[in-house]
Amino acid sequence: MNQVDAAHIVIETIMAMVKDGRPLMKRVLPDDEVHWWEHYPKADARDKHTKSRWYYHVHAPGDRDPEEHGHFHLFLHLSQLDDGVTPIISPQKKGDTDPVQTTHVAALAIDHNGIPRQWFTTNRWVTEEYLFPAETMIAHLDRYNVDETEEDSIVNRFVTAMVALYRDEISQLLMQRDQKLKEIGAGPDNPLLFEKGNDVLSACDIDLDAKLESLGIE
């Protein structure tokens, strides 16, 4: 999906949410009590064809920017990556449970009106998955697609299109992520630095109007 097509889908899905009076979080979260840190949906939204996935969650007050309501974590499945790619670090098997077969693309923060406000990347321990070099992730970004999960179809299409629309920015964030890991000394000699502290490694604010204008879309 090219950026212009992605932009039109983002506009279409936002307008559908406005018309329906149900912003992003209302389409993802239950109507009753919302629990801090819980995955919504519980077992993640998984595309039945690509195996890409997402989940949404909300941090406790005081633990995140007060302008943020919550954020989506987005993942590629290992089966979507080319053969022969090597992770920087892999999750450990816990008991009889095999590590989740995913790699984190980025997180998409949403404000209290349901408007996307920031992209960011995280350290490996935050989402407990495989960490691949930025170059590997960038080469596979166009494979991220969650149009066919069992969750709200508007949310699915919005998330897929946002990744395509902001592919350049996500690529930059992934490179900044790897640079930050080098700066803090994470690597073979200090593997614990992949497992503690430094939760957010790179971030950029979202100005959707400016992004659309840069593509000649009004």
Q: What is the DSSP string of 98-135?
A: PPPSEEEEEEEEEETTS-EEEEEEE-HHHHTSBB--HH
User: 67 pLDDT band (50/70/90 cuts)?
Assistant: confident
Domain count, the chain: 1
Q: Render pLDDT for 148-181 as a digit per residue (tens, 0 to 9).
A: 999 999 999 999 999 999 999 999 999 999 999 9
Cα–Cα dist 218/216, whole Å: 7
Per-residue confidence (pLDDT) for residue 190, from 0 to 100: 85
pTM for this prediction: 0.93
CA angle 182, 169, 62 (to 5 degrees): 75
Number of other CB atoms surrounding residue 147 within 10 Å: 16
Q: Any idea which residue has 């590590």 for tokens?
A: 99
User: Comparing 11-15, 68-72, 93-97, 121-125, which segment has the lowest mean pLDDT?
Assistant: 93-97
Residue 16 predicted with pLDDT over 90: yes
Phi, psi of 56 (to 5 degrees): -115, 145
Range(s) of the domain holding residue 98: 3-214
